Structure 1
């Protein structure tokens, strides 16, 4: 069974589903693949009210994280997409799928690794979140409604980073893990990984508020959020086996939960505003004027937010259409008064 659940076997199945948040494809993936796979492993699992799925293998203070959703267009054809596999590289068949948004290895790769670790009985808790690509709302739900659950863990490990060799310690919120912890994981994996502060945002950034050490490990995918996305299955198999052999009790825990250091520019998941800017009200939505100021003053931050929220060309067209309709109505009303 373990070999059947190696990433090279499961990831092509996972990526055949278009898993946009709230889509028919996401529901099909959960009902047709994820739940039956867990049932085949005879493990208990629970869904929370947001749809996040949790598997508890043991009470070890380790939380493994991957997100279910992708940036597929929710309005696109939800039939399974066709893929290409050659020399261990999985990609979209763009000749037969010219209009697909992405492959979905972000974060199907992480899902495949977590399933393998579960099949091996690796101790810890496994969390499959929803709505990461729309701002980490699933992770935010866990933090807001089940903080005590998160406080049980000393470390959170997500497999949701591009490339081969990064162990992300810092994300948009700031420092999420110590270099010592990340270096210990890198040494234990023995795969040329190294600590990196160059993260943007993924679910464990939200959990770093209450979990001391939160890292994001390279998942072997490239060109995420595009139709040219591809993933290295051989790398994932090696990573999965290496993680299964890590002694997590031996890793140094040096960061204090909630201490993000001096670095950090935003927290998408918690809506916490922007460090060292006027937009620092916890949990309040920005006003229209504040959004305009953000775009003008910090365009890179605004672009990163839109990117992580999975904004599509269709979304832009819809907004432009609404703006045009509002403008046309205003012009008509003005003409009618004259």
Structure 2
């Protein structure tokens, strides 16, 4: 697999509200590499809608254009090893965030746009600061979609089928996509564009998939190529085999909501480890910095983040005391 396109996407810094360069790149790339597609750029929002082929119904992939990282050194380079891709600045002698959340999703969408004859793709601005782009989506674009896939989840095997108790897809869709073949398992998730679309009346099944990025929103972010490729194969499998429309009306599932609520400690543990690693890498980070990085990814308030931050800092100090003794 050639990852040249992915590394080109990583090279573009596209923090929320400043997505112009990546919008231009995607429009030019699509015009050159998928000339038989129809591209609609919404000049009011920056959202991009692409349709390839003529069909009664289409598979659809969505991803967001923005990234959290505020800084991108001028000599940023995406370094590819046998297994991983990570960002680095030789001038600053430090690792740099890739923006793999969600440039991995963009790459997956563009790869499928090249491969399949009939497909729809949408890219939204400013997901990281509250799903601003998808909140202004052209919903008629999705009226002839069979299902919607968003690859916008860290890790390798999460199949997000509910968000904060809001069910995203039908049992029939979950059965037909055969997630176990690719090592994926159902789980709940947090805010992202498909949740926003469902709340605005999207009436087909949606899922959010892990797409191989790790330590998102930090300078230590990296992509595991094997996990990213597995996600691509899973999406290709779904598109190739799921030819009917999987209707689903958004509703709050009491069981899913309770599972989400009772799993708060699991979320706490996950956030604790992320904050701890971030502080070890940069002890100058404040609770406000942490909240700016992760506030849209976790169902916690600023006070909650401050509490987890304090817990993580106390553990780091305790471990240092142990080392001194």
Query: Secondary structure at the residue paired with 1:44?
Result: strand
In structure 2, the residue matched to 1:72 is 69
SS in 2 for 1:197: strand
Deviation at 1:37, TM superposition (A): 1.1
Go from structure 1 to structure 2 and tell me whether the alpha carbon gap of 1:180 and 1:190 turns closer, same or farther (over 3 Å shift). Answer: same
Structure 1, residues 213-245: CA drift from partner, whole Å, max 9, x if none? 110011011100111111122332343244334
1:256 maps to which residue? Answer: 248
The residue number in structure 1 matching 2:104 is 109
- State the distance in 2 between where 1:182 and 1:310 align: 24
User: 1:245 and 1:154, CA in 2 relative to 1: closer, same or farther beyond 3 A?
Assistant: closer
Question: CA separation in 2, counterparts of 1:160 and 1:251?
Answer: 24
Segments of 5+ residues of structure 2 without an aligned counterpart are: 259-289, 299-325
1:240-278 deviation line (CA, Å, top 9, x unaligned): 24433433535783x63122322459xxxxxxxxxxxxx
Distance 1:110 1:82, change over 3 A: same
2:3 partner SS? helix
Report if the CA contact (8 A) 1:8-1:234 is conserved.
no
Q: CA deviation at 1:162?
A: 0.9
Shift of 1:151: 3.3
Aligned match of 1:307: 294
TM-score with structure 1 setting the length: 0.68
Question: CA 1:248–1:123 in 2, change beyond 3 Å: closer, same or farther?
Answer: farther
Residue 224 of structure 1: SS of its match in structure 2? coil
1:3-82 mapped onto 2 (5 Å cutoff):
8-23=3-18, 26-31=19-24, 33-40=25-32, 41-42=34-35, 43-48=37-42, 49-58=44-53, 59=55, 60-73=57-70, 76=71, 79=74, 81-82=76-77
Alignment-derived partner of residue 191 in structure 1: 182
- Write the distance in 2 (CA, Å) between the matches of 1:211 and 1:234: 33
TM-score (norm 2): 0.70
Per-residue Cα deviation, 1:108-152 (whole angstroms, up to 9, x for no partner): 10111111111112422100111111111101101xxx3333333
Structure 1 residue 39: deviation in Å? 1.0
Q: CA deviation at 1:177?
A: 1.7
Count of aligned pairs? 260
Q: Does 1:226 align with 2:226?
A: no
Larger radius of gyration: 1
Q: 1:137 to 1:252 in 2, by over 3 A?
A: same
Taking structure 1 as reference, are residues 244 and 77 closer, same or farther at Cα in structure 2, changes over 3 Å only? closer
**Please, which of 203, 211, 214 is the counterpart of residue 211 of structure 1?**
203
Q: Give secondary structure in 2 for the equivalent of 1:20.
A: coil
- 3-state SS of 2:102 partner: helix
Contact kept? 1:134, 1:310, Cα under 8 Å = no
Q: Indicate conservation of the 8 Å contact 2:213/2:228, yes or no.
A: no
Q: Who is 1:298 aligned against? A: none
Query: In the TM superposition, what is the alpha-carbon distance from 1:35 to its structure 2 partner?
Result: 1.7
Post-superposition offset of 1:168: 0.7
Q: Which runs of 5+ in 1 are unaligned?
A: 1-5, 266-302, 312-338
Are 1:184 and 1:252, in contact at CA under 8 Å, matched by a contact in 2? Answer: no
2:195 is paired with a residue whose SS is helix
Contact 1:7 1:116 in 2 (8 A): no
